[in-house]
């Protein structure tokens, strides 16, 4: 009996240890769910994003015939946006960073997906917009312009000045005379080598038979502040591309020279931006709230359908006031928020507080898309006859297959997320540490009972 009591005591201790170990492992797995998104991306476990294109990649999807196509190209930690306009013109906004791999990715994307109306490869861009001098926006511009020069090149109101006041390679910014006096900042602001190269390439472009027209981005300019085709406003191919910021000629921070732009195609609106921060956004918001002149469009019913976050989702941009001007609370759940940033970038973009701001203001999780997670994001606006004498326009979105590691996932049929792995892990812990020992003990007890029954019977027969 003493041995039995000792055995029971040991058995209790073993079970107590199992329960503690199981609880600790389950708690650790549950806590890890806090970092689900990061773990998914690190391990290549993110699912393919479903879309209106039934999973097609953007190049396949948009060849189905969008009237207006907008491509937010994945160029790592940088920005590059290509727009195929309804009048068969093409626009490029920024060109990513200086890394050759990202520049080649952009060039390859253009070659594969951007065509003239006859299906042939394009030879130039009708419009190129360089938002500001930072290298993650203009780093690839020189190489892109070398292959695809611009007919019209929009540049920021910033004098190209590199290396302690001297520009390299004997280059002198040709726009010195047209940069506004308060905006050229020749004596107090330095720019990057990438900006220097981009400006040189812009002036050296010149598509065959044309001269590159270089324009200083200025929303107040009645001639260049809005891009629109020369046709009736109710024509199927009519659109407007309007600059609303910067509202000042000079800023302390290069980021704030970034324009705020709205592409409007029959009521489907895209808000596009560079890296405008608090000062740049606040200036625009003040003008929008005044509601005078071209800013009168920003009334209480104004909303965009696509909102590209400024500065890669940084906490210094996309303020609540800015979002309120661009969207209505009633429609925010339908607005697509686009974030262009690099996978596992050193800046932590997009910042957590910005994502929380979007969600608290009513954006739907499924409509927050990111190039670091989704790859290149492509959208299309298509017009169709409603059958009742009216013509309607719809916005569609597609995305390239998100990154998955074949080595980690195993094969295309297995696409587990970290959440599913955690659930599976909890089941395994419970089975191994709790259920399996219970079953094993029950079997032992059954065998002991069988032996006792057998030995008892043998005694009676003797």
Residue 461 lies inside a defined structural domain of this protein: no
Residue 445 lies inside a defined structural domain of this protein: no
Residue 74 lies inside a defined structural domain of this protein: yes
Residue 27 lies inside a defined structural domain of this protein: no
Residue 280 lies inside a defined structural domain of this protein: yes
CA dist., res. 268 & res. 397, Å (int): 13
Residue 426 lies inside a defined structural domain of this protein: no
388: domain CATH number is 3.60.15.10
For residue 165, what pLDDT band results from cuts at 50, 70 and 90?
A: very low
Mean pLDDT on 168-186: 58
Residue 18 lies inside a defined structural domain of this protein: no
Given a contact cutoff of 8 angstroms between Cβ atoms, the answer to whether 400 and 376 are in contact is yes
Q: What is the per-residue pLDDT across 264-281, written as a single tens digit (0 to 9) for each?
A: 999 999 999 999 999 999
Range of the domain at 233: 43-409
For residue 203, what pLDDT band results from cuts at 50, 70 and 90?
A: confident
Weakest mean pLDDT among 2-16, 70-84, 114-128, 192-206: 2-16
pTM of the model: 0.73
Residue 298 lies inside a defined structural domain of this protein: yes
* Torsion angles phi and psi, residue 453, rounded to 5: -65, -40
- Nearest in space to 106 (alpha carbons), one of 88, 138, 80: 80
Given a contact cutoff of 8 angstroms between Cβ atoms, the answer to whether 275 and 132 are in contact is yes
> For the CA atoms of 362, 82, 114, 412, what is the dihedral angle to 10 degrees?
-40
CA atoms 362, 364, 365, 368: torsion sign: negative
| Residue 273 host element (H or E) | strand 268-273
Q: Characterize 119-156 residue by residue with b for buried, 16 or more Cβ atoms within 10 angstroms of its Cβ, and e for exposed.
A: eeeeebbbbbbbbbbbbbbbbbbbbbbeebbbbbbbbb
Number of domains in the chain: 1
CB atoms within 10 A of CB 419: 14
What is residue 240's three-state secondary structure?
strand
CA dist., res. 275 & res. 97, Å (int): 14
For residue 38, what pLDDT band results from cuts at 50, 70 and 90?
A: low
Within 346-446, strands assigned E span 368-370, 377-385, 391-399
């Amino acid at each position: 009996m003493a041995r039995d009591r000792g055995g029971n005591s040991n058995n209790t201790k073993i079970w107590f240890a199992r329960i503690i170990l199981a609880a600790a492992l389950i708690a650790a797995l549950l806590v890890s769910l806090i970092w689900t998104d990061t773990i998914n991306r690190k391990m290549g476990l993110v699912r393919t994003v479903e879309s209106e294109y039934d999973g097609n990649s953007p190049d396949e999807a948009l060849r189905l015939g969008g009237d207006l196509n907008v491509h937010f190209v994945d160029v790592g930690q940088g920005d590059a946006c290509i727009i195929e306009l309804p009048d068969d013109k093409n626009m490029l906004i920024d060109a990513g960073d200086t890394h050759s791999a990202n520049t080649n990715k952009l060039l390859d994307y253009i070659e594969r997906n951007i065509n003239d109306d006859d299906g042939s490869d394009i030879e130039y861009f009708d419009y190129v917009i360089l938002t500001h001098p930072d290298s993650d926006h203009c780093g690839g511009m020189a190489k892109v312009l070398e292959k695809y020069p611009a007919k019209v090149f929009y540049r920021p109101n910033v004098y190209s000045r590199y290396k302690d006041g001297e520009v390299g390679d004997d280059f002198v910014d040709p726009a010195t005379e047209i940069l506004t006096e308060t905006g050229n900042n020749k004596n107090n602001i330095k720019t990057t080598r990438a900006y220097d190269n981009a400006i040189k390439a812009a002036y050296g472009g010149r598509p065959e038979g044309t001269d590159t027209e270089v324009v200083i981005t200025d929303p107040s300019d009645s001639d260049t502040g809005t891009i629109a085709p020369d046709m009736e406003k109710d024509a199927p191919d009519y659109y407007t591309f309007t600059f609303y910021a910067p509202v000042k000629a000079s800023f302390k921070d290069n980021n704030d020279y970034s324009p705020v732009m709205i592409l409007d195609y029959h009521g489907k609106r895209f808000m596009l931006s560079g890296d405008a921060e608090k000062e740049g956004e606040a200036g625009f918001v003040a003008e929008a709230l005044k509601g005078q002149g071209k800013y009168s469009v920003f009334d209480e019913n104004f909303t965009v359908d696509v909102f590209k976050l400024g500065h890669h989702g940084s906490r210094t941009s996309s303020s609540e006031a800015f979002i309120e001007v661009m969207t209505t609370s009633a429609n925010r759940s339908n607005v697509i928020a686009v974030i262009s940033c690099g996978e596992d970038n050193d800046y932590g973009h997009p910042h957590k507080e910005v994502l929380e701001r979007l969600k608290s203001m009513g954006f739907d999780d499924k409509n927050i898309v990111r190039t670091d997670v989704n790859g290149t994001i492509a959208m299309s606006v298509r017009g169709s006859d409603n059958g009742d004498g009216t013509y309607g326009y719809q916005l569609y979105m597609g995305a390239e297959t998100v990154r998955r590691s074949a080595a980690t996932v195993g094969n295309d049929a297995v696409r587990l997320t970290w959440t599913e792995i955690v659930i599976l892990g909890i089941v395994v812990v419970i089975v191994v540490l709790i259920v399996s020992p219970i079953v094993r003990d029950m079997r032992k007890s059954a065998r002991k009972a069988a032996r006792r029954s057998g030995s008892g019977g043998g005694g009676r027969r003797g």
